[in-house]
Structure 1
Amino acid sequence: MRKIILALSVMGMLTLTSCGAKKKIAALEAKNKEIQDLLNSTTVKLNLCLTEKEALAQQMEFLKKNNSDLINNMGNMTTLTTQGAQNIEKALETIKEKDLKISRMQDALTKKDSVTLALVTSLKREVGISDPDIEVNVEKGVVFISIADKLLFKSGSYMVSDRAKEILAKVAKVINSKPDFECMVEGHTDNVPFISNGTLLDNWDLSVKRATSIVRVLTKDLKVNPAQLIAAGRSEFIPLVDNSNAENRATNRRTRIIVLPKIDQFYEMIEKEMKAQK
């Protein structure tokens, strides 16, 4: 009876952990989508401003020519010249205003891109991108570190290997240098059904356990701030390739560390400029 109660308690804790991770994943994905949508909208606004600027420049050339023609063909040259000069001055002021807005939006986007580029450069330098089982890339402004499971765990196990700790130490060095960043550790498996061994129930369980094992190494051994980390398991449901052969299944068994820069200041800057144009 005690064993049954204990087993039910463990299953309940795993379920709660999985649910909590799913909510955090959903929240992060929603936040990332919101920021991406804003950046896309800003790009549209930026292109519109550039188009308006070009149109105003053409209008200014027309006004200059029109002013010259009026001076040559009309008797009251003083009045016409003054009116033309005023029109040109207004056009120039409008162009300057558009230029300022364009410059501010471009600065915000450039700063965001610079943060991402600097992060990728640091990770590639520290982790060692020469290893084909470690990938560092950027997708929609988010940095992903993908590590093959054979570097981290033995088959069917969630115990972190000594070699993995060397790799994670390099990742931790970058994370510790960026205290405003958040990192989500995702465990992924292939689609081969996991046979319950009393400790692990299925692939969901294995993927979550592997993520939490890495989080423990990062926090306890490598002194990463726990508030920066999220542990999540994705089981077999987001494969990189189909699971039709052993090589592909090995590719799908991986752990991803997703690095999310704190871009609130850039978000606010872009949002302010967009509101100013309404």
Structure 2
Amino acid sequence: MKKIVVLSLALPFVLGSCVSKKKFGLLEAKQKETQDLLNSATVQLNKCLAEKEASLKQVDYLQKNNENLINSSKELTVLTMKGAENLEKSLESLKEKDLKISRLQDALTKKDSVTLALVTSLKREVGINDPDININVEKGVVMISIADNLLFKSGSYEVGDKAKSVLAKVAKVINSKPDFECMVEGHADNIPIKSTVLVDNWDLSVKRATSIVRVLQKDLGVNPKQLIPAGRSYFVPLTTNDTAENRAKNRRTRIIIMPKIDQFYDMIETEMKNMGK
């Protein structure tokens, strides 16, 4: 009887012990499964954190790169604006230069085309067709060159009677242009002067120039304010002084008529109109 009682009392403990082990096993399995999930989640979390950090670095790099691009774009915009301004200024400068070149070319073309007209006009006014008298235009001034055999005797500075008829024609030109200046320039050869009156070839060239000026003023009515005498001795020859013929060419008087620029072109325009008729 006692055995039965003891067995009855022990049976619940045995059965309870069996149930607890079973549940424990289930709980243990569940815990393992949960731990595996936790480990897997931890791995995934760490992977996500690493990816996040990499993404943040990439974002930071992209932000900095974007800032650099923006700054470069601003600098490029400034440079482009400056370049455009410089280009515009360069184009304006080129236009101005082109205009100046065009005007200069027009002026040179006009000068070349009117030189012949001016010389022709002066020859017509003076009425001179003599090989010892040369009329041309040099550097914007009119040059009338007269050989000394028409004006003076050898070694003399006295103007001959024949010369006055030539100078009268020159005076006609000067008197028709009262605002022009007229330089009378004497030239000699290199043969030394043998005279008690003349010191040297400088003296001869100057005295010949002043003799012409006096005739133009006193005998032919040219305003003395227009006249300028000058002597060049033998230092501006037309050719070498090695022959008598060449020395004769170098002995000459040049009358240089110098108009004001506006009057010069007025005269040119008049002659161009006359040529066009």
Smaller-chain TM-score bracket = 0.5 to 0.7
Deviations 1:106-128 (A, max 9, x none): 88778878986665333211334
Q: Would you say the 8 A contact 2:148–2:253 is kept in 1?
A: yes
Q: Would you say the 8 A contact 1:215–1:229 is kept in 2?
A: yes
2:211 paired with 1:213: yes
2:260 paired with 1:262: yes
Q: Secondary structure at the match of 2:174?
A: helix
Q: Would you say the 8 A contact 2:186–2:254 is kept in 1?
A: yes
How many angstroms apart in 1 are the aligned matches of 2:113 and 2:174? 17
Matches within 5 A, 1:66-77: none
2:251 paired with 1:253: yes
Where does structure 1 differ by over 2 angstroms across 4 or more consecutive aligned residues? Answer: 97-123, 126-130, 264-267
Higher relative contact order (CA 8 A, sep 6+): 1
Describe the shift of the 1:159–1:128 C-alpha distance in structure 2 as closer, same or farther (beyond 3 A): same
Describe the shift of the 1:102–1:235 C-alpha distance in structure 2 as closer, same or farther (beyond 3 A): closer
Q: Would you say the 8 A contact 2:202–2:233 is kept in 1?
A: yes
- Determine the structure 1 residue equivalent to 2:32: none
2:224 paired with 1:232: no
Q: How many Å apart are 1:163 and its aligned residue?
A: 1.0
Amino acid at match of 2:244: A
Describe the shift of the 1:209–1:102 C-alpha distance in structure 2 as closer, same or farther (beyond 3 A): same
- Aligned Cα root-mean-square deviation (Å): 3.2
User: Between the two proteins, what is the percent identity of the paired residues?
Assistant: 82
Describe the shift of the 1:220–1:195 C-alpha distance in structure 2 as closer, same or farther (beyond 3 A): same
Aligned length: 174
Describe the shift of the 1:158–1:204 C-alpha distance in structure 2 as closer, same or farther (beyond 3 A): same
Amino acid at match of 1:229: L
How many angstroms apart in 1 are the aligned matches of 2:129 and 2:243? 25
Q: How many Å apart are 1:226 and its aligned residue?
A: 0.5
How many angstroms apart in 1 are the aligned matches of 2:115 and 2:259? 7
Describe the shift of the 1:150–1:265 C-alpha distance in structure 2 as closer, same or farther (beyond 3 A): closer
Q: Secondary structure at the match of 1:214?
A: helix
How many angstroms apart in 1 are the aligned matches of 2:264 and 2:145? 27
- Determine the structure 2 residue equivalent to 1:203: 201
Matches within 5 A, 1:72-221: 119-196=118-195, 198-221=196-219
Amino acid at match of 2:204: L
Unaligned runs of 5+ in 1: 1-96, 268-278
Q: Would you say the 8 A contact 1:184–1:258 is kept in 2?
A: yes
How many angstroms apart in 2 are the aligned matches of 1:161 and 1:127? 19
Amino acid at match of 1:178: K
Q: How many Å apart are 1:186 and its aligned residue?
A: 0.4
Q: Secondary structure at the match of 2:142?
A: strand
Describe the shift of the 1:147–1:265 C-alpha distance in structure 2 as closer, same or farther (beyond 3 A): closer
Q: How many Å apart are 1:261 and its aligned residue?
A: 1.0
Between Structure 1 and Structure 2, whose CA radius of gyration is higher?
2
Q: What TM-score results when the alignment is normalised by the length of structure 2?
A: 0.54
Q: How many Å apart are 1:100 and its aligned residue?
A: 9.5
How many angstroms apart in 2 are the aligned matches of 1:148 and 1:135? 9
Q: Would you say the 8 A contact 1:116–1:261 is kept in 2?
A: no
Deviations 1:160-205 (A, max 9, x none): 0111100000010111010111110000000001123x32111000
Q: Secondary structure at the match of 1:255?
A: strand
Q: Would you say the 8 A contact 1:189–1:254 is kept in 2?
A: yes
